[in-house]
Structure formats: C-alpha cells, structure tokens
Structure 1
Amino acid sequence: MAEKRQLLFCYMLVFSLWSCIVYAVTDSQDAAVLRSLKDQWGNVPPSWDTSGGDPCASWEGVVCNNSRVTTLGLSTMGLTGTMSGDIGGLSELISLDLSFNRGLTGSLSPRLGDLRKLTVLILAGCSFTNSIPTELGNLSELTFLALNSNQLSGEIPASLGQLSNLYWLDLADNQLTGQIPVNPGLDNLKVAKHFHFNKNQLSGGIPGKLFDSDMSFIHVLLDGNQLVGSIPSTIGLVQSLEVLRLDRNSLNGSIPLNLNNLTNIIEMNLAHNKLIGALPNLTGLISLNYVDLSNNSFQRSEPPTWFSTLQSLNILIIEYGSLQGSIPSGIFSLPQIQQIKLKNNALSNKLDTSSVSSQQLQLIDLENNNISSVTLGSQQGSTLMLYGNPVCSSSLQNTVYCQIQQLDASYSTSLVKCGTQTCKSDKKVNPQTCECAYPYEGTLYFRAPSFRDLSNASLFMSLESSLSTNLSLSPGSVSLHGLSFNDDEYLQMDIDLFPTDAELFNRSEIQRLGFALSRQIYKPPVDFGPYYFIASPYFFGGAIAGIATGCAVLVLVLVALGVYSLRLKKRAEQAMFFSKPFASWATSGKDNGEAPQLKGARWFSYDELKKCTNNFSESNQIGSGGYGKVYRGMLSDGQVVAVKRAEKGSMQGGHEFKTEIELLSRVHHKNLVGLVGFCFNQGDQMLVYEFMSNGTLREILSGRSGIELDWKRRLRIALGSARGLAYLHELAHPPIIHRDVKSTNILLDENLTAKVADFGLSKLVSDASKGHVSTQVKGTLGYLDPEYYMTQQLTEKSDVYSFGVVMLELITSRLPIEKGKYIVREVRIAMDKNDETHYGLRERIDPVIIKNTSNLIGFSRFLELAMQCVEESASDRPTMSEVVKLLETMLHEDGLNTNSMSASSSGTEFRPGNNNGHPYEDSLNRKEAIESDAFGYSNGCDLQARAEPK
C-alpha cells in the first residue's frame, strides 16, 4: 500500500513538473529579472510566490507579448524594498507603474535608462530618495514621466531635455533643489504640455529660454519653490497656456505686459511673491476664471478697469494688497463671478452693492479696509464681510456683516438613505448599496480648480458621476468627503471607490484603478483642472490570504492534475459558445443557444462586416467610445451603414448589446434610429445601424459641425424627438423607458430629421399597474430625474424630465452642467414673464437663433413647456404624448409644417453631411486619442479617458 502511495506521488510530481514546463512561456532573461525583483520586494502579489509559476502565464501585473515582458504594473500593492538594477534587463518593457507603494525606498536605479522602449514610467507616491538618474534621458520613446510625491533630492538632470516625445512631466512634491536646466535642457521639450515642478526647493530664476512660441505648454506649475528674479516676458509667447501658477516663491520685478497675450489662460496665480510696479492689465484674458495677485508689493492704485470687463471671471483675489479708492460696481454684475476677496487693502469711500445681479456670487470679502458707508442691495444670497471697516463702528454696527462669518459647509456624499448603518473594522458603507465593503481609498488633489464654492452639490455630484463612469464602477459607488482648500491652495478631498457586488476589489482591479488615476486616464470635469492622486494602502484580506498561502502546497498537486482536463473543458465550452453564441442569454438551462427571434433585424456574419468596412480600416472609422469603435460601411446592396463594434473586454458589452438589439428590432418609427442588423460571432459583438449623416444634436449645438439651426428647425427637432419617445411610452408593447435621453442620443439624418438612439440602458414596463420600474440609478448627470435619483423608481416621467433638459439645450446651446452651473436652475432663476419677447433669457439664448431668426415664434410657450417637463415632482410633468400635442399646436398655429425638415424651412443654406463628427461618437471631447496603454485599461473607458492628459 505504501509503495502504491509513493508511486502515485511520483506520478503526480512528474505530471506537475511536466505541466510547468509546458506552460513556461516567459523569456528566460525576463523571468530571471522578475524573480530577482521578487526576492528583493516584500508583499508581492500571492501569484508571484507560487512555486514554479511562469510570470507571463500567471503573475499578476505582468503583461507579455511573444514571451517578452512589455508591462509591469503593481500600483497600490503594498510593495516594500528597493529598486534593483536588474530591472534594466526587461529590455522590451513599454510601461512601468509602481505608483502608490510607500514601502519602496532607496535610490532610483540608473539602469532604468536601459529600458529604451519605455513609453510610460510612473513611480508616483512612493518613498524613493536621492537624485534623479541622468540616464533617464536615454528613454527616447518616453511620453509620460511621473516621479511626483517621493523624497527625491538633488538637481533636475539636464538630460531630461532629450525626451523629445515627452508630453507629461511631473516632478512635483519632492525635495529637488538647484536651477531649472536650460540651454541645453528642458527648453528642448517642444511637445510637453504638462510641466509640474511645484512643491520643491528649486532656486534661481525662471529661465527665459524655457518658453517660446514653439512650446505647447498647457499647465505650468512652479508654485511652492524658492524661485527669485523677475517673471520672464517669454511666458507671453506660449499662447496655449491655460494654467500658470508661480505663487509662493520670491519672484520680484514688474509683471510683463505681454501676459495679456495669454488669451487661453483660465487660472493665473502670482500670489505670495515680491512683485512690484503696477497691477497687470488683464483686459484681453477673455477665458480667465481665476486670478490671485495677493501678498505682493504693487504700487498703490485704484482698482483697475479690467475688474469689471472679464466676463468669464469666477474668482478675484487681491488680499494684503495696495488697492485704494472705490470698488467699481460693475464687478458685482459679472455673469460668472462667485467670489471677490479684497481684504486688507486701503479701499475707501462708499461701497455700493445694489448692482449685485450674479446668481453665483457667494462671497464678497472686504475685511480690514477703510469703507465708511455702504449701500446694500439684495445680495442674492451672497455673504458680505466688512469686519474691520469704519462702517462697522457706525451704521452697520452689530450687524452680521461686521461679524466673523462662516461659509456654507462643504459637500459630502450623502448616506441618508442608508439610515444608521455602520460598519466594523476598516469597512465603510457603500452609498449605493448601503452594504459594508472595503473601498479603494485615497486623496485627490486638484491643483488649479476654477471655483471656491465647496457647497455646490451639482458640481461635486458631476465629479462623483465622472469617477464612477470613467473608472467603470457602478453608479453611486463613489464617496467624497473631507473637502477643503489646503495651505497650497489645492482643493483636496478624500475619495472612497467601492467594488460592485463584492466586499473587496481583487488585485487586478486595484492595479487598474491605480493606473487610471496615476496615468491621468481618468479626466475630471473641466472646472476641476489638473490633479494628482495619492492612494492609501489597500486591504486584500490578510487572514484569507494567509490561509490560502498555507494551503498552496497541498492545492498545487491537485491543480496540476486538473489543469489538463480543465483546459479541455474550456476549449469545449468555447467551441459550444461560438457555435451557440446566445446560450448565455437564456433565463434557464433549457435554452437551445439559438439567436433570439428578432423581427426585421438581419444577422450578419463577421466576414460580411469585415468586408463592408474594408477590414475595419482606420480610414472608415467614424467614432469611438466606451462601447468600442464605429465604422462607416457599405453593404452589398449599396446601403450605407454604421457598424458599432465592441472592444474586446468592454465593460459595457453583453447586457446592453442584448437590450439594444431586442428593443430596436421590434420598435419601428421614423423618429427612432433604425437597426439594420447585428453580428454575434467569434466573440465579436457588432450592431449595424442606419447611417445618420449629420451627427448628434449636441455636436450641432456646440458649433463643431458647421450647421446652424434656426428657431424653426429647433422646434421640428424637438417635435421629432418627442414623437419617438411618445411611441416608446405609449405604442410599444410593453412600454419602454429610454432612461438616457440626452442631446448626444438624438441623431439627425441628411434632412435634419431627429431620431432617438442608444437603447442600451432602456427598461421595459412589464407591470403597467405599478407604473414604474424599481431599478439601480443609471443615466447621465444633468439629465437625471431627481425623483428617480432619490427613489430609484423609474417612470416614463423620468424621460420627460430628461427631454425638458434637451429643450433647454435647444434654447441655449449650453451643456446641462457647465462650469458648475445647472441649466435648469439657471433658467428658472432668470425667467421673467414680463419680458414678452425673451422671457428674461436674452443673454442665455443661443446667438445663432437670434442671428438667423427675426421672430422667435412660440418661444414663450416652448420655454414654459420645457419648465413643466423639469418640475421636481413627476406628477407635475406632462406625458410625452401631451408634449407632442403642445409642440404640434405651436407649429400649426404659426402656420408651420410639422413634418417636413427640408432646407426651405429657413433662409439659411443647409448642406447635408458637412459635419466634422459622427453621431455614434460617445465622447464630446474631440482631442486626438493616443494609443491604448500597455495595460489595456483604456478598454471600457470613453474617448475622453483615452485622450492625452490635460
């Protein structure tokens, strides 16, 4: 018996060794390097400790191509140890990400310079020390370099100027000293857009040669150093510049006059220096949102005229300055102004705030000036601070204006619906499910936000939504708290990202999230500006991991015996899947795997669609987004179609694919986009639509398409869209709720006929007696019905609310949420029924309408209908069929045809097909996309998330 057991053990051992040999695919040199790194690092992933495991086959964070290691990504793994010089042996490495591992210490290895194919190097948020190796200048392919938030010291090597392809350079938050190297040096970085050197100990002057008209800088962040000398006038040559932070240095001299040339600049912060001379003339800076000139030594002067002329200005700060005389009253009526902070100056005479008209104005801080009298207006809810002025000893004594006041509390993600739920240990309450889980935690730092209002719920809800969407998390699974502006004038906040339907993220998910945030794949709403993220260590389940490690030896033998049979089974299942691709859609195990019975939708083979799109060539690509790419194709019968092909591993995919083809195949209406067919073959998911030559309504309203819509055409587009939705709500059986009505989902054909598209989130109302569907909240922020958001009960009136927002877009051409302002609230506040022509919206109406239309027929009724659609309570909103009737009545009473969309409807010439975009493009951001990152984490993110970081 003992002999039999020994024989069985030997057989198992031989089989195990044979299995390891069969699946050992990693190049021997690369494997040796990785094993050396494993020996020097602590807390490596468990898969690295598996005896005999092959790196390319099973090691987490390792990606290979043809047996060579091309990606090493171990973000937020809790690694400890130092960086071995052996890492230079990974000669095919393209991407290296070790971010957020505070246990990694010591010097950066000079052998990093041997990684000649490296394009991405991210070592942010570790504890590396000593100098930056000059050998990094050998990485000629490098495009992204992030060494921020370490303890690096010494001077910046001039060799970094050899990185001619570099567009992101972040050395911030270290202990770097010396001067900024130029000639030769960083002045050779002609394509660099992001120059982040803030929070170091850099000294000397800012070299004039660092800037010229050939530079592409968008963000120049030099704040928090020890820089001296004057601001070089050459900065005014870089007209692409959007954010300039030179604050908290020791700069002196006068401000160059040609800074007025920076017409694209959004934020300018020159505070806490020793600048002299006159205040700069910023009259031409039409995009300026934020300016801070505090704590300098400018000569005494009256407030300059540009105070009242910058229409985009949100924040004006000149504290501890030399202003004297009266504040121009025009500043209080700037349309975007939110905060005016002029404390500790010598402002005197009479203060008149009766002209306050901005609904956004939150704060007027004039503490410690010489103001002797005040004429108060309504203040429109803003806070006026006058503590320390003579007026507080007379007419305003004992009023709230002369007391130390607190601003509104900062935003925090609500857990009200979770009641008194609490969690033990390190778990936290998921705001979406109200269950306890281990979130991925960290701190987000926004280095140049264009606002200072921390109580603006809609603004921070848009941030929550963009985080969950672009990081492929469930809606509502992001929690923000601890918002504040720190001593560096950065907006910092703690964020918790929760896993979907689980208690823990796995290691691959943590690596993906860490990479997306350190690599700047995630793009926040534009108001938040440049950011960086520092992750906290993540709990991967220590007790469970310990037990698993202890059992690993016993399990290994069993695994070895089972590998072969499992592989055979997997191959069989794949063969079954490809032969019966719809089997996984069955609601029970009795499904035969055949395609659903779809009326009017044609099944295409993979080869057919490959041929009609010219092998999915780039020249035929007309769109790209979270689902995948869209190609223009021509079928054998000459019909032009749009082929929407899912990315491999798309985070959307299966359910949305099934929903869309099942719904579109059985609903037919001239105002719904037509589904020609689909392909579900060899693992590919493709939808084939009718081709819509004039893009999305959003593209046209933005002005990118070149088409100008007069008022009559906008009325017809509204009517067409409403008819499509009314059909879904009342004539489809069972009724359908679209759930994602927005201007990017309204497509226009060659005659500008509106058609509703994208049914991936739609829901059937199977129980008409209930009148609603209880479901997880999904949709697009800005269009989302607040009642649905609160109750999670979806009704047809949720679509009505979203359509009302689209109607307001037709009037204003503005996005629903723009610079933190919500279109519904803005219009509601501004409406004035005493203005019979424009209802008080003259400044908000799209100028294109006024230019091309002499008489806005039916405007007041259209506006009133839109506002009825966006009532807070669903019961106060009309149905879509009522909306259709009212729109038809408007058009009929004014003698307009409600069916034709011909060019004759306006005197403006219309040329079909002259738009630059395409209706199936998911993203509104049309910046040039870069290649997918080596990790492949771009899959499932929208185009904006794959664009060059900004």
Structure 2
Amino acid sequence: MEMKLVIQFFVLFIFIFCFIPHASAQSTHPDEVAALQSLKTKLVDPMNHLVNWRSKGDPCASNWTGVLCYLKLSTDGFFHVRELQLLNMNLSGTLTPEVGNFSRLQILDLMWNRLTGTIPKEIGNLSSLILLLLNGNQFSGSIPDELGFLVNLDRLQLDENNLSGTLPKSLANMSNCKHFHLNNNSLSGQLPPEFSQLPKLAHLLVDNNNLSGKLPPEYSALAHLMILQLDNNQFAGAEIPESYQNLSRLVKLSLRNCSLGGAVPDLSKMPYLSFIDLSWNKFTGAVPSNKLSDNVTTINLSHNNLNGSIPESFSLLPALQMLSLLNNSINGSIPAGIWHNKSFNSTARLLVDLRYNLLSIISGDLNPPQNVTLRLRGNPVCIRANIQNIHLFCDSDAGGNGTSDGPTTPAACPITACPVDQYFESVPEAPTCFCAAPIRIGYRLKSPSFSYFPPYKYDFVSYITHTLKLDRYQLSVDSYAWEEGPRLRMYLKLFPDISKTDHIFNESELRYIRHIYTTWHFPGSDLFGPYELLNFTLLGPYSYVNLGTAKSGISKSFLAAISVVVITSAVIVSVIVTVLLMRRKNRSRQLSRKNFSSKISMKVDGVKEFTFRELSQGTRNFNSSAQVGRGGYGKVYRGVLANGTVVAVKRAEEGSLQGKLEFLTEIQFLSRLHHRNLVSLIGYCSEYGEQVLVYEFMPNGTLREWLSGKSERTLNFVMRLRIALGASRGILYLHTEANPPIFHRDIKASNILLDANLTTKVADFGLSHLAPVMDDEGSVPHHISTIVKGTPGYLDPEYFLTHQLTDKSDVYSLGVVFLELLTGVPPISHGKNLVREVNAAQKSGSLFDIIDTRMGTYPSECVERFIALGLRCCQDKPEMRPCMLDVVRELENVLQLVPDSMTMSDTTSLQSCSSSSTTNPSLNKFARMTSDVSGSDLTSTVLPTLAPR
C-alpha cells in the first residue's frame, strides 16, 4: 500500500515538474490577447488610457493605465481576463466581435463612453458573465437575441443608448438576472409576456421608449419585482391588469404618460409600496379609497379624468411627501387632515397639489404648517371671499416646488485652514477641525422611491458608509439635484479617516472603494432603488494613482523558477507526510476497530441507526465535493438518503472519537432534547470505528449569513425580534428543562440556524456535557471549571478570566447576538468591539446611528428596549445580567408592543422568504441542519427552575 502511494505521488511530481513551469510561463490566452488587441484598435482613446503592451506580456495587467482588467490563472495553464472595466473614459469607436473570445469574463463594463455601432451578438458566448454594463453610450440597432444565452447574468444595463427594434423574448432565459435597465432607448413593440418567467427579477426599467400593446397580466407572477418603471411609452387604451395587486414586493409603480385608461387599480394590498406615479394618462372614475401602505411617500395622479372626492385614507399616510391630483375633476371638500394628522420634523416636507379641480369646500381649518405647500389655483374654492388667507394658496407660485435643498452643515474649520493647493478640504461632519483630500464621486439614483430627499439624507449616508465600512462623517453629500425621470443626481465626497496623519486614502483603500461601486456590492435598497456611477474623480494627491492592476516588478522567469522550487518541495514533503499519516491512520483504525468490536448495544428511541454503507453511499463515499462545513466535532457533508431525503452528515474525526458506550450514551442523551427552537438529532452511525451524526438540512442557513448579506433577503425588525425570542427560548430549555441541564458556551450568530419559515434553531450544543454535576452531597454548584472554549467577541469576559462557566456566560453571548441583530455588525469588526461601541452610542445619545439600515422601519421604543436588554445581558459582572427566563419575558413584552401592521407585514415577508429559499442556490450552499421535531415551548407562564439531578 505504501509503495503504491509513493509511486502515485512520484508520477504526480513528474507531471507537475514537466508541465507546471510550462504553464506558468504562459501569459494571457492567445485568443484573448488578440481580442484585446482588436478592441484597442477599434477604440478611439483621446486620453491615451490604452497604451501599448508587450505582445507576450500580461497586457491588461501591466500597461492599460487606469483600466480595471483582472486576469486569473485557469486550469488550462493560461491567464484569462475576468473583469474588463473601461467606464467613463471618453472612448469612442466600436465594440468588436472578438469581445466574445473572453471565455471567462465576468464583468464587462463600458459605461458612460461614446461607443457607437451595434452590440456584438458574440457577447452571448460569455457564459460566465455576471455584469453587462453598456449604458450611457450611443449603441444602435437591435438587442441581439444571443444575449439570452447569458444565464448567469445578474445585471443587464443597456439604458441611455439608441437601441431600436423589439425586446427579444430570449432575454427570459436569464434565470439569474435581477436588473433589467433598458430605459431611454427607441425600443418598440410589446412587452414580452415571457419576462414573467424571470424568477429573480427585481427592477424592470423600460421607460422612455416606444413600446405599445398591453401590459402583460403575466407579470403578476414576478414574486421579487420591486420597481416597475414604464413611463413615456404608448400602451394606447390599455388598462393596468387587476392581477398586478398581487405584486406583493412592489415598492415603486411608475407608469407616467403611457396612454393608459380604465380605472385606477386598488393598490392597498402592496405592503411595501412607496411611490405611485400614474400621471398624464386617461384614467377615469374615483380615486380608490382603501388605505395604502404606511411607506407611501408619493401619489401622483395628475392630468387624468378622475372624479369623486379625495379619500380620507390619504390622511393616514405618515410618510407622505407629495400628493398631486392636479388637472382632474375632483370635487367635494379639501381634507385638512392630510396635514393635521401628520407629525413634521425639521426635514419633513409635504406638497399637496390640487390645482384645476372642482373643489369648493374646506374641511377643517385652512392653516397648514410651514412644512406644507398647498396649491389650490383653478378651484371654485379660490373665489370664495369668506375664507381667510385663501389667496395664499390660490396664487400660481404659491408654496414653491417642494424640492429645495434646505440648509447645509457649516464646515468645522475656518476657510483659510486647509491648503487649497493640495486639494485639501475641511471635512464638514468631522468632530474636530480636520483637513483631508477627498475622493469625488458622481452618483445618480435611477429610480428613488421618494419625492423629497432631505428626510432621507441621514439614511442615505448611513447606507453608503455602512457598505464602505466608513464612519458617517467621512461622507459628504456635496450637492444634489432632481433630473427628468425623476432621477436624483448627486456629487459625493469621501474623506479619509480622521486618524490618518497624511490626510489621504492609500492606494488599497482607493481600489477597495472603487471596486464596491463598480461591482454593485451595495446591498439592494427598496428606498433608494438602483444607482449608477457617473464618475470616480481622483485629483491632487490621487492624480497619479493607477487603479488598473499594477505591473509586477518580478519577471515571469523568476516567478516560474520560484514556482518550480515551491512545488517540488511541497510534493516531496507531501509524500513523506502522507506515508507517515497513512501508517498512523492504519494503526489507529486497527485499534479503533478493536475497541469497537465489543458487542455493546443500546436502544435509542426517537432516532434512527444508519449503517455506515448507507451514509457512505449518500455522501459519495464522503467525497470532498459533498462537504458543506467543518466544526470542532468533524466535517459536515451533504448527503442524500435512499428515499431522497437530503441530510447533513457529521463525521467525527480522530480527535473527537469516544468509546462506543460513551458515544451511545451521548446519542441517548441528545435524543431526549426536543424543543421547537433546537436542532434535533434524527440519526447516527456507530460501526467500523466510525461515529457519525445525521441531521436534516436547513435551507435558510445561519443568522450570520443573513446579517452579512449572503442571503438575497434582508430581515426586518420584527423578524429579528422573533429570531432573538426563538433563540432565547431554546437556550432557556437547555438551562432549565434538559436533564442534565446544559450550558451551551458557544452561542453565536453562526450557531443560530433558520428553517424554511425562518424559525430559529440553536445548534452545536450537547456533544459533551457541560452543565454542573451534583457533588457527593447531592447539590449542584453554581459553576463548573473548564478549559475556556468559545468564539472571540461572544465570550463572557468573566468566564475567560476565571474559567468558571455559568448560565450567565450563555446570557452574555446571547446579548452579543442581540446587538448583532440590531446593528448587523459582527462582534469584532475592524478592531472595534461591538459591545463597547453600542455602550458608547447609548451614552452619547446616538443610539439610532448604529442601527442596521437594512432593517427598514421600526418602532423606536421597541428598539430602545431591545438594545437595553442586549446591554444588560452584556454586563461585565454576571450577577448584573438577567436570567434566561427574564430575557424571554422581556422579548415577549417587546413583541407585544410592535404595531399589528408591522407584524402582519412581517408575516408576508416571512412567506416570501420561505418561498424563495428553496430556489436560492446561495442559500443552499450555506445550508445547515435542522429538525421538525416539536417539543415543549416555554412561555412567560412557565416558571422552570434549575433542579439538581
């Protein structure tokens, strides 16, 4: 056996020695070098970005200045271009068919140039393409049918070109595409009903084209659609299908100037709807009176043929910024409750435009606050002399336009404090006078879901800086202006951290920030919608930074020589180590089999005993491709049983093996743990010296994955609160009802799992008994002394210092999870400790600055109580922390305070997550174990105690 193994490694060594140096001496694949050469000859580059390169070198790695062009060594021994980004470089010319030779290309970004000609059909050959960004050019002709072959594409941006012809039905094959941005072209024909087959489509922007026909009712099947923007097309006489009210995730519906008719549909069943623009159409009848979502900011029904009265339900919309019924035949009274029922802060603004209707009565006191702009010109009420100050609202320019910027924050430094010649500026939001060189970014929101920006400026800054891992003061919104669309164009300045002594970003930071913007790593935002990067300007100390992949100063021959030496040494060492390990393993297996050959049997109720052959077949002989994780116990594999059931198989490694009696005793103990918030064992295997545990897969992965953005969905406040409550109930069961009681001692977000319905399941407990054991006198000690185990950031500091584990050690770890739920930040991030950061924010009164913006809206009182509970759990002294029963009770009380409207919308969100989880490969990749075994559920009416055993 050993001789055979040595021979195999020797053959492998010869193969690597002979072929690897040859491969490493290769450069970019010849077809791709030719494509780059062809691309360069067809592009006119007035700024000389595309300079010459050595024909046998790494062209885009070494000599394309300012161009992001990444290469990666592949299994064929060649480098392949993975990303080609030539955005906003003032390039003209055409895109050659040879672009289809980049066989491994994932990003093709040519935004904001002046490219002409047609889009090459050969782009359809780029099967690995994820981002196709050709917007902001002058491409003409039709969209190639071949683009439908791009089944891995996430984002298609062809907007703001001169494209014509019809929308290809083949685009419906892009099963992973979330963003269709085809606006501002000259596309004609009908919207293909086949687009309803796009399972992940979130944004459909086809406004400003020449589309006709009807609105496909099939689009109601787009379960993830958030933005439907079809303005300025000609759907003559068409109606909005009644089935569109089933678009439960829709945030923005914009169908302005589309020649639509019929009645305005009832949109009250859309819980996330924020923006409605149906203006400049031919709608008739009354305005629907059912109450819309509390998220609604904009209702524009102007320039239609509507009649009837203004619905009283409009007075119940707390986020409303604009209501326009201009130029209809609305009659009856003006409901003053629209502004009287609204609480205005300093940045809130409300525009009520009722001009040119048939309104003749004022309902209530006509005295709106300064935040409200009321326009009544062209109504009968304006000629009634007995209404005081009526002329203030009937003048043509009454109230302004509702889009002023508002006051700006004064700079923290005197004007003369910063050296202008070095492009340094005062950082406006810095806590002290600080001068630094900013990065200037042109940025545009392509479809925001609001009409007035100042109330959302704070959320916007938090949204950007959180993703870029910056502090809020490092981003300044320099200016912004509304453009036709409506779209919001803004100029941002990003400043380096105040701790930097040189007052500038380093090159790696610049690369990181630009990479986030150009690869769309910002999480999806319902409120701000899709964005586009207009420019990324580097001035002053950044002028000479080349953001393209830098040329290596080490020659290829030297790298090849190093590769040979390293590989040769590694192979020799591997042969020696493998032989030694095989000898040791064989001896160990012999001993193990001898130890396990004794006839020990034990019936374990509630779990199934699997044969090793069953589990081996189900995991393809524990193939590495089936491995989905690894823990302290051993490796975890995805297995499929003979009946088709998918399971998670945990195979113990040598260091985790126990005696057979101990193992079966452990299994018997685990089989007795039944609770809806705990992962439950469904089977085991104990033969041939193997010890294997079998669990069910959990399709929605771990809490940490959701908080880190690996999931497509985000968790709103109510979801997070219920997750915390479920985890707490599971831990309470371990502490009080397990016999013997268990202290988990490694509670963390990655050990909190979510099933298909987002029910919380606590995992990785009970593999070794950690709770106190009775002493000789029959009493239970308050702690146990143990080797410190756990995860940094979650670890109880008292336990770390004293090695004494108590139930309050779990309370501390769970408190950290609570803070993580509310902030979205890991317990240790960029050298900062989450508990300290939240404590500091509470003391400074800036608690809401650190709340995770992805959580959406939330009741402030509930969040304050939730954070307060988390901080109490994280007290340094264990005696100051609440017990688990008090934690559960407090979370139940907080949940009862949540408004019914939020808990109902949470149920809808949960159902959406459940339906999407089974088809989301990114979630399946991180699947974990779960159980459907139901058990006792602890509520506030149960008073368990920690009884001795």
TM-score normalised to structure 1 length: 0.57
- The residue that corresponds to 1:132 in the other structure is 119
Correspondent of 2:372 among 368, 383, 390: 383
AA matched with 1:64: K
CA positional deviation for 1:318: 0.8
Determine the structure 2 residue equivalent to 1:373. Answer: 361
The one-letter code matched in structure 1 to 2:535 is: A
1:69 and 1:537 mapped to 2: Cα distance?
Answer: 37
- Give a deviation string over 1:124-173, Cα, whole Å, max 9, x none: 22322111011122223333322112221111112212323333211111
Q: Which amino acid aligns with 1:121?
A: L
Q: Aligned to 2:310, what secondary structure does the other structure show?
A: coil
Q: Give how far 1:805 is off.
A: 10
CA shift at 1:51, angstroms? 12
Check the 8 A contact 1:251/1:273 in 2, yes or no: yes
The answer for the alignment partner of 1:851 in structure 2 is none
Match of 2:746 in 1: 691
Alignment partner of 1:745 is 2:810: no
Aligned pairs for 1:433-512 within 5 A: 435-456=434-455, 459-473=456-470, 475-500=472-497, 501=500, 504-505=504-505, 509-512=509-512
CA deviation map 1:763-816 (0-9, x unaligned): 9xxxxxxxxxxxx9x979xx988xx9xxxxx48735x974x999xxxxxxxx77
Residue 529 of structure 1 corresponds to 529
- Mapped partners of 1:69, 1:508: distance in 2: 28
State yes or no: 1:705 paired with 2:763.
no
Q: Is the 8 A contact 2:450 2:527 kept in 1?
A: yes
Q: Distance in 1 between matches of 2:315 and 2:323?
A: 9
The answer for unaligned runs of 5 or more in structure 1 is: 1-19, 72-91, 547-551, 569-608, 620-630, 651-669, 674-688, 709-723, 748-753, 764-775, 789-793, 807-814, 828-844, 846-862, 871-876, 892-896, 909-924, 933-950
Match of 1:248 in 2: 232
Question: For 1:34-65, what per-residue CA distance to the aligned partner results, in whole angstroms no more than 9, with x for missing partners?
Answer: 99489868667899879997669867844331
Which aligned pairs between 1:595-744 and structure 2 lie closer than 5 A?
A: 612=632, 614=634, 690-692=745-747, 704-706=758-760, 744=818
Q: Any conservation in 2 of the 1:104–1:128 contact (CA below 8 Å)?
A: yes
Q: Partners in 2 of 1:334 and 1:35 — Cα distance?
A: 55
- Verify the 8 A CA contact 2:752 2:761 in the aligned structure 1: no
**Counterpart AA for 1:704:** L
Which of 142, 146, 150 in structure 2 is aligned with 1:159? 146
Match of 1:160, SS state, is helix
Name the CA distance, whole Å, in 1 between partners of 2:186 and 2:441: 26
Whole-Å separation in 2 of the counterparts to 1:52 and 1:157: 33
Q: What is the rounded CA distance, in whole Å, between the counterparts of 1:415 and 1:408 in structure 2? A: 21
Tell whether 2:181 aligns with 1:196.
yes
Equivalent position of 1:768 in the other structure: none
Matching residue of 2:389: 397
Shift of 1:523: 1.8
User: Does the CA contact (< 8 Å) of 2:246 and 2:270 recur in 1?
Assistant: yes
Structure 1 residues 26 and 472: alpha-carbon distance in aligned structure 2, compared to 1, 3 A threshold = farther
Q: 1:899 to 1:252 in 2, by over 3 A?
A: closer
What is aligned with 1:589? none
2:337 to 327, 347, 354: 354
- Return closer, same or farther for 1:820/1:46 CA change in 2, 3 Å cut-off: same
Question: Secondary structure of the equivalent of 1:476?
Answer: helix
2:259 is matched with: 274
The match for 1:29 is 30
Could you tell me whether the CA contact under 8 Å between 1:445 and 1:532 is conserved in 2?
Answer: yes
The aligned residue for residue 155 of structure 2 is 168
1:797 maps to 2:798: no
* Change beyond 3 A, Cα 1:504–1:276: same
- For residues 517 and 312 of structure 1, the distance between their equivalents in structure 2, rounded to whole angstroms, comes to 27
AA aligned opposite 2:389: Q
Aligned counterpart for 1:296 among listed residues 258, 261, 281: 281
In the alignment, the residues of structure 2 paired with residue 343 and residue 902 of structure 1 have an alpha-carbon distance, to the nearest angstrom, of 50
Task: Report SS of the residue matched to 1:479.
Answer: strand
Partner SS, residue 250 of structure 2: coil
Residue 386 of structure 1: how far off its partner (Å) = 2.7
| C-alpha distance in 2 between matches for 1:292 and 1:900 | 45
Q: Is the 8 A contact 1:321 1:344 kept in 2?
A: yes
1:784-863 aligned within 5 A:
794=840, 797-798=843-844, 802=847, 823-824=859-860, 827=861
**Deviation per residue, 1:587-620 (Å, 9 max, x gap):** xxxxxxxxxxxxxxxxxxxxxx97836468789x
* Post-superposition offset of 1:212: 3.6
Structure 1 CA distance for aligned equivalents of residues 208 and 412 of structure 2: 42
Deviation at 1:198, TM superposition (A): 0.6
1:141 partner SS: coil
**Separation (CA, whole Å) in 1 of partners of 2:337 and 2:888:** 50
Partner Cα separation in structure 2 for residue 376 and residue 883 of structure 1 = 58
Distance (whole Å) between structure 1 residues aligned to residue 246 and residue 168 of structure 2: 26
For 1:726 and 1:401, locate their aligned partners in 2 and report how far apart those are by CA, in whole Å.
Answer: 63
Q: Cα offset for 1:268? A: 0.7
Q: Which position in structure 1 is the counterpart of 2:714?
A: none
- Select between 164-173 and 431-440 the one with higher mean Cα deviation: 431-440
Q: CA deviation at 1:310?
A: 4.3
Tell me, yes or no, if structure 1 residue 264 matches structure 2 residue 249: yes
Looking at structure 2, the residues matched to 312 and 477 of structure 1 have their Cα atoms a distance apart, in angstroms, of: 29
Q: How many residues align?
A: 676
CA contact under 8 A between 2:335 and 2:363: conserved in structure 1?
yes
5 Å-filtered alignment, 1:54-133, equals 61-65=69-73, 92-93=80-81, 95-133=82-120
Residue aligned with 2:136, SS? coil
In 2, are the aligned partners of 1:47 and 1:58 still within 8 Å (CA)?
Answer: no
Q: C-alpha separation between the residues in 2 aligned to 1:400 and 1:884?
A: 65
CA contact (8 A) 1:362 1:383 kept: yes
CA distance in 1 between partners of 2:510 and 2:635 (Å): 35
1 CA distance for matches of 2:512 and 2:78? 16
The aligned counterpart of 2:711 is none
Aligned with 2:412 (options 417, 434, 438): 417
Query: Normalising to structure 2: TM-score of the pair?
Result: 0.57
> What corresponds to 2:402 in structure 1?
407
**Counterpart Cα distance in 1 of 2:182 and 2:162:** 10
Gaps in structure 2 of 5+ consecutive residues = 1-20, 566-628, 640-648, 671-677, 680-701, 709-727, 732-743, 763-792, 803-811, 897-915, 924-949
Inter-partner Cα distance in structure 2 for 1:104 and 1:219: 28
Equivalent residues in 2 for 1:767-786, closer than 5 Å: none
Deviation at 1:276, TM superposition (A): 2.2
Does structure 2 conserve the Cα–Cα contact (< 8 Å) formed by 1:448 and 1:528?
yes
C-alpha distance in structure 2 between counterparts of 1:58 and 1:632, whole Å = 47
User: Using the alignment, how far apart are the partners of 2:370 and 2:651 within structure 1?
Assistant: 56
1:363 maps to 2:350: yes
Partner in structure 2 of residue 74 of structure 1: none
Q: Is the 8 A contact 1:423 1:429 kept in 2?
A: no
Tell me which of 193, 211, 218 is aligned to 2:202.
218
**Aligned equivalent of 1:330:** 313
Note if contact 2:25-2:557 (Cα within 8 Å) is conserved in structure 1: no
Q: Is the 8 A contact 1:272 1:296 kept in 2?
A: yes
State, as a whole percentage, how many aligned pairs show the same letter.
21
Instruction: Report the CA distance shift for 1:699/1:334 in structure 2 as closer, same or farther (over 3 A).
Output: farther
User: Aligned equivalents of 1:401 and 1:784: distance in 2?
Assistant: 49
Shift of 1:695: 7.2
Q: Which amino acid in structure 1 is aligned with residue 412 of structure 2? A: K
Larger Rg: 2
Say whether the 8 Å CA contact 2:286–2:306 is kept in structure 1: yes
Q: Is the 1:170–1:195 Cα contact (8 Å) retained in structure 2?
A: yes
After superposition, the CA RMSD in angstroms is 6.2
Aligned mates of 2:217, 2:521 — CA distance in 1:
33
For the Cα contact (< 8 Å) 1:343–1:367, is it kept in 2? yes
